[in-house]
Structure 1
Amino acid sequence: MTSGCGNRGIEPKGGAEMEESIEDRVASLAKSCRSLKEAASAHSSRWQHEADTLSKQAINHVSTLKKLQVDVGSASEKDEIDQQTADKLEEELYRARTMLYNGEVSSLLPAKANGVFLRMLLGPTNVRATLKDGRYKVKEEYNAYRDRTALMFLAFPVILLVLKNKIWNGCFPALPVQVYQAWLLFFYTSLALRENILRVNGSDIRPWWVYHHYCAMVMALVSLTWGHPSCIRKQQGVQLFLGWAVMQGVAMLLQNRYQRRRLYTRIALGKAGRMDVVWGETAGVKGQLGILYPLLFILQGFQFFIGILLLKTAIVEDKSEWQIVVCGLLLVLMACGNFINTVATLVAKAKIKSKMNKKSK
């Protein structure tokens, strides 16, 4: 017992020194954090000042570039310079534009404002990537998403059409059709969201293809409210639409396979930017025009036919649903818009080919 009492009476060695040591370490850490904060603030201020200076230079260069593009075009039209000189100047300006809008310089340019669609879904969130690697990852994710969904876009209607004859005795049940329509709504919404983010990050997606997906979103949403697809009144329209979807899925697979290769080639040649993507249902490559473009025109004609059929049904029937009219109008609008943009792409390609032939001569 004596030994135990004696042990309790002895203070641990180094207790005060340990407490003081901990206090010193905490004080040292706090002082180091303050120094680091001040250094980071100074660095941030210097970086912001340099970024502002470079941003002003980039904006001035873009303004000069646009003015020179107009001047070269005007001089060429007035025959103040020959065509060969004009082509060389345009190539130089294109290379200058590529340097401004691709790579690190593009992050110094003012970002495009979020559109209404992005503001509705995400609010005022800044979706522009500050680093070029981040922007490229956004683009690659968009391409990967298109590859994944192209297979589903083809497989979903094929399965429904097969099951109709094998299991459902020639009549689509309501639930599978509504599940497909819900998937279309999700697909077009996510596609439009990704495309809006790509445009904010400097991609060249034509506005029409984003509007096209808005129309497809509305049509899928309206179709969900249509009710049960009666075998007597609505099965023909559903079957025609599924047939069109199968053709569309085949076209998407062809585009994703061939157009991606062409885009990579154009980027390697300096004729396209790293953030550029395939333009919806238009861009083609040499060797595929004989397959892809006829398929696209057939698709557009089929889409127009389904829209007219729905509108005709709404006119003939006394008690037709409002969904028939809306879906018919949207199909006609999308078919006409797709046709106009496809023809515009063909005309642009013909002009480029003609210019290249003149240069070779």
Structure 2
Amino acid sequence: MPQDLTDVLEEWKCLEEEYQKLQETHRQYLQKLDEISKLQNKCSTSIFHQRKRLKDISLQLKQCSKGPSEEDGKSLNAIKEKIKTRPNTFFEMEAFLPKKNGLYLNLVLGNVNVTLFSKQSKFAYKDEYEKFKLVATVVLLLLSFICYFFVNYRVFDAILNFLLVWYYCTLTIRESILITNGSRIKGWWVFHHYISAFLSGVMLTWPDGSLYEAFRNQFLAYSLYQSFVQCLQCYYQSGCLYRLRALGERHNMDLTVEGFQSWMWKGLTFLLPFLFFGHFWQLFNGLCLFRMALLSDWREWQVLMCGLCFLILFMGNFFTTVAVVRQKLKEQKSEFKETQRVSCRRRGITKVSPWQTWMLNHNTH
């Protein structure tokens, strides 16, 4: 038998053995997938059952809480404390279980499972989201700068507005996937991107004319400022989140946002003047557009619609930021009062006079 044929036969024999091992490995893989699917269904059913039972027990506790003995009262309080912690535990469990998509994801992607089942893939997707956000913001910053200072063509304005529509629509999809996988971003900062995408789409359809030219530079300057502030936020918030995660004070799937949240209080309060200035700029844009709508030559529906969008953005951003600041100041005040009480107990003081309060405050600072 020729040597070449012998080598081919030996090679084929080795390949056949590897193929048999591959088939066995794939069989085990399919078996494990089936087991995982059954475990996922079992966990989901158990969590649903646990939630239902917790509601029933909570109602029973309210009925039993009238006039218990001291020992029974301690047991009831211990149960209540455990009940309070269970929802967070269920939330952590569900982050690794398949979930039904919300209405928005169903409309965009269909009934596709977007749950990521490992921590590494979740963190990788979150980090990729943050990188996308920063790179896109820098591109929008440069394009706004070019359109404002160097180029005055409607085509370039349309490109900028198209990129804004694409950017905000992409953010809404990615954030919906991240929320499905355990991110805690919610409330106004999610809805804010839907309004911004709609506003950018309206600006894209606004035909060239005297009213568009009157508002163009103001909008470009606003876009330039917003992109600059978002770059600041992405840079400083990511560093703050990394530090808080390392200390175990934040959830690993928390994201940077285009606003102010309670975890940003330490070290990021310098962002507040930039944010409030941007909020009032949105109000100014809305008022200017409403004033344009009162002119006799007003014909474009985009003027009134953009003014309404800017007004909604101002109200949502401003009142949400004020609410966060107010809540944080209340927390600081309650923490300070608790510190005073602890300090008075250590010193054997039962009643705190105004003079002692001032002295404690002075010593604290």
Which TM-score bucket, shorter chain as reference?
0.7 to 0.9
Deviations 1:90-122 (A, max 9, x none): 79956x6665544xx3445452x3233322322
Kindly indicate whether the alpha-carbon contact (under 8 Å) linking 1:65 and 1:97 is maintained by their aligned counterparts in 2.
Answer: no
3-state SS, counterpart of residue 272 of structure 1: coil
Residue 206 of structure 2 is aligned to residue 226 of structure 1: yes
Give the Cα separation in 2 of the matches to 1:34 and 1:254. Answer: 53
Q: Deviation at 1:144?
A: 0.9
1:7 equivalent in structure 2: none
Gaps of 5+ in 1: 1-11, 14-20, 74-79, 165-171
Report the TM-score when normalising by structure 1.
Answer: 0.74
Query: Cα offset for 1:221?
Result: 1.6
How much does 1:32 deviate?
A: 7.2
Partner residue of 1:118? Answer: 105
Percent sequence identity over aligned pairs: 26
In 2, the alpha carbon distance for the partners of 1:204 and 1:161 equals 37
By how many angstroms is 1:354 displaced? 2.8
User: What TM-score results when the alignment is normalised by the length of structure 2?
Assistant: 0.74
Contact 2:168 2:194 in 1 (8 A): yes
Partner of 2:239: 261
- Determine whether 1:282 maps to 2:260: yes
What is the identity, as a one-letter code, of the residue corresponding to 1:141? E
Within the candidate set 109, 120, 136, 1:149 is matched to: 136
Q: Could you tell me how far apart the structure 2 residues matched to 1:243 and 1:270 are?
A: 40
* Residues 46-78 of structure 1, C-alpha deviations (whole Å, 9 max, x = no match): 4444444444444456667889999999xxxxx
| Amino acid of the structure 2 residue aligned with 1:315 | L
Report if the CA contact (8 A) 2:96-2:115 is conserved. Answer: no
Larger Rg: 1
Tell me which of 231, 242, 263 is aligned to 2:220: 242
Which has the higher relative contact order, 1 or 2, with Cα contacts under 8 A spaced 6 or more apart? 1
Candidates 118, 126, 150, aligned match of 1:131: 118
Cα displacement string for residues 270-290 of structure 1 (whole angstroms, at most 9, x for unaligned residues): 33211111343123333432x
2-structure distance, mates of 1:310, 1:265: 42
Number of residue-to-residue matches in the alignment: 331
1:306 equivalent in structure 2: 285
- Separation in 1 of the partners of 2:43 and 2:283? 50
CA distance in 2, matches of 1:297, 1:91: 40
**Equivalent residue letter for 2:228:** V
2:230 is matched with: 252
Q: Could you tell me whether the CA contact under 8 Å between 2:226 and 2:278 is conserved in 1?
A: yes
Q: CA deviation at 1:178?
A: 1.2
In structure 2, distance between residues paired with 1:69 and 1:161: 60
> 1:329: Cα distance to partner?
1.0
Of the three residues 308, 328, 331, the one matched with 1:329 is: 308
Q: Name the CA distance, whole Å, in 1 between partners of 2:256 and 2:59.
A: 27
Per-residue CA deviation, residues 106-141 of structure 1 (Å, 9 max, x unaligned), is 445452x32333223222221111222111111111
CA distance in 1, matches of 2:60, 2:259: 33
What aligned pairs does 1:170-209 form with structure 2 within 5 A after superposition? 172-209=152-189
Q: What amino acid sits opposite 2:132 in the alignment?
A: Y
Aligned partner of 2:336 in structure 1 is 357
Judged with a 3 Å threshold, the aligned counterparts in structure 2 of structure 1 residues 145 and 156 are, in CA distance, closer, same or farther, namely same
Contact preservation (8 Å) 1:314, 1:325: yes
Q: Is the 8 A contact 2:98 2:113 kept in 1?
A: no
Aligned to 2:317: 338
Query: Which residue, 249, 256, 259 being the options, matches 1:271?
Result: 249
The offset of 1:185, in angstroms, is: 1.1
Q: What amino acid is the match of 1:238?
A: R
